[in-house]
C-alpha cells in the first residue's frame, strides 16, 4: 500500500521558511510569472474532514442545457483521510477547489474543450509557469451541451473499465483522475457514498459547486 503523500512530514518547514516562500511568491507574481497556488484553501481531511450533505445531483432547473455539468468526486481511502493538504483542481487554468477525502462537487461549464489539471501543493504553493511541484493530472476533455460528466479521483484504485467514449490513449483513461460513466459513478462505493465539498473558514472553496468563468 502506498504511503500518504504529504510535504509536511519530510521537510518540517519552519514559519521562517514559509515566510521566505511567500516573499518568493510575491516576487514571482510581480515579475509576470503565472504562479499556481491554493494558499488558505489546501487543508486536507486529516485536519478538516468534509462535512457537507450526502451526494445528490443538482436540480435540472439549476443549469442551462446549452452548457454541461462536470462532477468531480473522490472516494474514501485511508491515504486520503490522512492527508495534510488536498490536491487542487483547475479548469482552463483557473483554480476552483481542493478536493478532500470522501467528497464531491460540481461545475457548470461551456461546451467545447475544457483543460483540466490537478496539482499537489506544498504549503499552498504548487508551481510557476510550466513547472509544477507535483502535477497529478493534465488533460483536455471535450464536453457537449446538455451532458453530465463524472470525473473520479482516487490514488489507490482505478476504475475496472475505461470510459467507452474516450480514446484508449486519452489521459483520462488512466492514472488517478479518470472519466467514468454514470453507471459506474452510481455504484455503492462511488460518488453516492461521498459528501458535498462545502466551503467554510478552514477550507474555503468559493468556486466549487458553481459556474465556471467561461459559463
* Residue 185 maps to a domain: yes
pLDDT at residue 153, rounded to an integer = 97
The per-residue pLDDT for 201 is: 80
- In angstroms, the first-to-last Cα distance of the chain is 41
Q: Mean pLDDT in each 10-residue stretch from start to end of the chain (215 residues)?
A: 46 50 54 83 93 94 94 96 96 95 96 97 89 93 98 94 94 97 96 93 71 64
Cell 484553501, residue located: 41
Helix boundaries (H) for 31-173: 78-81
3 falls within a domain: no
Q: Which residue is it, cell 504511503? A: 3
What pLDDT is stored for residue 25 in this prediction?
Answer: 53
pLDDT at 208 (0 to 100): 62
SS3 at position 62: helix
Residue 193 lies in a domain: yes
- Predicted pLDDT at 52: 93
Is 4 part of any domain? no
Task: Give the pLDDT confidence score for residue 8 in this predicted structure.
Answer: 45
Domain presence at residue 189: yes
Q: Would you state the pLDDT for residue 200? A: 82
163 in a domain, yes or no? yes
Domain count, the chain: 1
Q: Look at residue 13 in the predicted model and tell me its pLDDT.
A: 44
Q: 200: part of which helix (H) or strand (E)?
A: none
Structural domain including 46 reads 10-211
Residue 169 placed within a domain? yes
pLDDT at 19: 55
Instruction: Give the residue from 23, 129, 43 showing the smallest Cα distance to 86.
Output: 43
**Any domain includes 76:** yes
φ, ψ at 62 (rounded to 5°):
-90, 0
What 8-state DSSP symbol labels residue 134? S
Amino acid at each position: 500500500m502506498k504511503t500518504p503523500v504529504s510535504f509536511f512530514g519530510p521537510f518540517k518547514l519552519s514559519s521562517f521558511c514559509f515566510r521566505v516562500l511567500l516573499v518568493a511568491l510575491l516576487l514571482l507574481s510581480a515579475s509576470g510569472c503565472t504562479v499556481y497556488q491554493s494558499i488558505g484553501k489546501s487543508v486536507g481531511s486529516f485536519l478538516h474532514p468534509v462535512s457537507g450533505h450526502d451526494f445528490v445531483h443538482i436540480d435540472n432547473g439549476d443549469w442551462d442545457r446549452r452548457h454541461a455539468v462536470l462532477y468531480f468526486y473522490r472516494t474514501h481511502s485511508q491515504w486520503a483521510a490522512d492527508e495534510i493538504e488536498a490536491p487542487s483542481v483547475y479548469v482552463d487554468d483557473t483554480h476552483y477547489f481542493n478536493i478532500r477525502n470522501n467528497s464531491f462537487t460540481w461545475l457548470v461549464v461551456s461546451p467545447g474543450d475544457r483543460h483540466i489539471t490537478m496539482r499537489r501543493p506544498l504549503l499552498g504553493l504548487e508551481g510557476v509557469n510550466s513547472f509544477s511541484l507535483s502535477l497529478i493530472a493534465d488533460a483536455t476533455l471535450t464536453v457537449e451541451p446538455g451532458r453530465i460528466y463524472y470525473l473520479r479521483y482516487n490514488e489507490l484504485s482505478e476504475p475496472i473499465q475505461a470510459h467507452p467514449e474516450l480514446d484508449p490513449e486519452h489521459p483520462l483513461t488512466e492514472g488517478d483522475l479518470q472519466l467514468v460513466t454514470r453507471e459506474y459513478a452510481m455504484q455503492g462505493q462511488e460518488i453516492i457514498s461521498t459528501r458535498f465539498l462545502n466551503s467554510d473558514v478552514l477550507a474555503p472553496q468559493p468556486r466549487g459547486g458553481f459556474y465556471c468563468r467561461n459559463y
